[in-house]
């Protein structure tokens, strides 16, 4: 009976050393599981912070794109106005008859920019429907362009008085377009975007056992994300170039506005109270002078790329000549009509184009940097989402391991230590008795 009882304990109970060891195993498994769970949680928090940083960087990038694109659309709108007013002044005489063609070119560019504007706004705020405002902008521009055509034809075929009547409506519509474009920019800056371009839900696509290998690819997904993030941060971190591009675009608009207002007063001959062209042109010239010191500061950082102070000196000198020639042109039109004004007009228009071209190199690097492929952005977003999901599953596995192993080892350790089998004691006594 004693032997059977001892054998039973040997087979169905753990040895005394194993019983003591199970407590150490319990402690080790619990500590390891908790440590891995904490590390996974810390990584998850890090990933979350990375995603927020990525979203903010992408939002800044979109705001920069929106700002420059609206400036481009504004420039095309001003050019439409300028060339229709231009041909109204020249009456199409002396070979100065390309106003309709150039106005149509800029009107086409403006219309092509509308869907691009809609896409940028959708990426900024996918929850907002801007279609009604976009449609209103298109309708306003169509009326504006048609009114400009009517105005130019009225000046050519019916004279100054008839043209001046339509000019007032044309200006009001142009100002309405300016306000609508400015509203898009203002709303974007008041409510910075916090959304990324939408992607298809891929967070659990790797979960089936057949695709478990993606657990090993989480590292590559994270690297893809980091590459796209760093590319976006590189775009927005070059603050001097970003500010330089926006300032250059703003100065280009001032140049075109000077051209427009001096041409406008040339067309109206300053009659019917439409003599504000001189005042408005002076305002834009003063704005140019105010922006020149800031341009000088920014070019000091990028002097090797754009010629630095030499460019500033050239701009300043040529702008003064350009403005004075514009005043002479307007005076010639007022005193002698197209006969005196047309010879000066051709030179004035060429100077405007050349001045604007001087600023173009400052815009090109920005245009290249903002060309990040949206596929890369979406892929990065998907990759970081997969890494985050992998970390959540790993943390869940660690918790399951902790709970499961702890329950088993705890039950094992709670069993009483096995008694020393009786037959072992009897055998030792017999062996001791037989010793001499």
Q: What is the pTM of this model?
A: 0.59
More confident residue, 117 or 193: 117
Q: What is the pLDDT of residue 145?
A: 94
Examine residue 88 and state whether it is found in any structural domain, yes or no. no
Query: What is the residue-averaged pLDDT of the chain?
Result: 71
Examine residue 206 and state whether it is found in any structural domain, yes or no. no
Return the DSSP state at 197.
P
Examine residue 309 and state whether it is found in any structural domain, yes or no. yes
Return the DSSP state at 208.
S
pLDDT tens digits, residue range 307-357?
566 778 888 888 999 999 999 988 888 888 878 888 888 788 888 888 888
pLDDT tens digits, residue range 263-279?
888 877 767 667 788 89
Examine residue 299 and state whether it is found in any structural domain, yes or no. yes
Angle at 237 between CA 236 and CA 243, to 5 degrees: 70
More confident residue, 434 or 97: 97
**Hey, what are 53's tokens?**
């940083």
Distance CA 140, CA 177 (A): 7
Buried b (16+ CB within 10 A) or exposed e, 220-231: ebbebbeebbeb
Q: What is the pLDDT of residue 149?
A: 92
Examine residue 433 and state whether it is found in any structural domain, yes or no. no
Examine residue 385 and state whether it is found in any structural domain, yes or no. no
Examine residue 408 and state whether it is found in any structural domain, yes or no. no
Please list, in sequence order, all residues whose beta carbon lies within 8 angstroms of the beta carbon of residue 258, skipping any fewer than 6 positions away. 281, 284, 285, 288, 322, 323, 326, 352
Q: Which domain holds residue 353?
A: 238-372
**183-192, 209-218, 223-232, 322-331: range with highest mean pLDDT:** 322-331
CATH number at residue 346: 1.20.120
Distance CA 284, CA 261 (A): 9
Examine residue 312 and state whether it is found in any structural domain, yes or no. yes
Query: With 70 as the cut, is the pLDDT of residue 39 above it?
Result: no
pLDDT tens digits, residue range 87-126?
887 777 766 678 889 999 999 999 999 998 888 888 777 7
Distance CA 177, CA 117 (A): 14
Q: How many domains does the chain have?
A: 1
């Amino acid at each position: 009976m004693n032997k059977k009882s001892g054998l039973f304990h040997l087979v169905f109970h753990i040895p005394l050393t194993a019983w003591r060891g199970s407590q150490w195993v319990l402690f080790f498994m619990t500590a390891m599981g908790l440590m891995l769970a904490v590390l996974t949680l810390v990584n998850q928090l890090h990933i979350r912070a990375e995603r927020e940083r990525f979203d903010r960087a992408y939002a800044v990038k979109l705001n920069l794109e929106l700002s420059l694109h609206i400036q481009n659309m504004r420039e095309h709108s001003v050019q439409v106005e300028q060339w229709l007013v231009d041909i109204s002044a020249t009456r199409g005489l002396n070979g100065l008859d390309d106003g309709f063609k150039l106005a149509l070119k800029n009107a086409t560019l403006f219309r092509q920019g509308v869907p691009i504007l809609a896409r940028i706004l959708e990426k900024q705020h996918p929850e907002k429907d801007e279609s009604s405002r976009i449609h209103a902008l298109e309708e306003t521009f169509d009326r504006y362009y048609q009114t400009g055509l009517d105005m130019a034809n009225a000046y050519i075929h019916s004279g100054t008085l008839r043209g001046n009547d339509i000019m007032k409506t044309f200006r009001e519509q142009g100002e309405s377009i300016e306000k609508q474009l400015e509203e898009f920019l203002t709303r974007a800056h008041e409510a910075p975007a916090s959304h990324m371009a939408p992607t298809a839900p891929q967070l659990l696509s790797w979960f089936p056992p057949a695709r478990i290998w993606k657990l090993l690819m989480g590292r590559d997904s994270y690297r893809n994300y980091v590459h796209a993030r760093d590319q976006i941060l590189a775009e927005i971190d070059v603050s001097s170039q970003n500010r330089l591009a926006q300032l250059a675009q703003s100065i280009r608009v001032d140049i075109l506005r000077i051209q427009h207002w001096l041409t406008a007063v040339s067309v109206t001959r300053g009659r019917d109270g439409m003599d504000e062209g001189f005042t408005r042109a002076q305002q834009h010239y003063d704005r140019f002078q105010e922006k020149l010191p800031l341009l000088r500061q920014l070019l000091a950082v990028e002097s090797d790329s754009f010629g630095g102070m030499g460019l500033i000196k050239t701009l300043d000198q040529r702008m003064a000549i350009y403005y004075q020639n514009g005043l002479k042109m307007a005076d010639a039109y007022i005193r002698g009509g197209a006969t005196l004004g047309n010879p000066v007009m051709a030179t004035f228009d060429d100077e405007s184009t050349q001045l604007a071209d001087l600023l173009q190199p400052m815009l090109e690097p920005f245009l290249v940097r903002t060309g990040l492929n949206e596929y890369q952005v979406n892929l990065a977003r998907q990759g970081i989402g997969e890494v985050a999901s992998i970390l959540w599953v790993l943390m869940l596995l660690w918790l399951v391991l902790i709970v499961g192993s702890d329950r088993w080892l705890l039950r094992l350790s709670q069993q009483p230590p096995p008694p020393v089998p009786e037959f072992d004691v009897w055998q030792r006594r017999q062996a001791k008795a037989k010793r001499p």
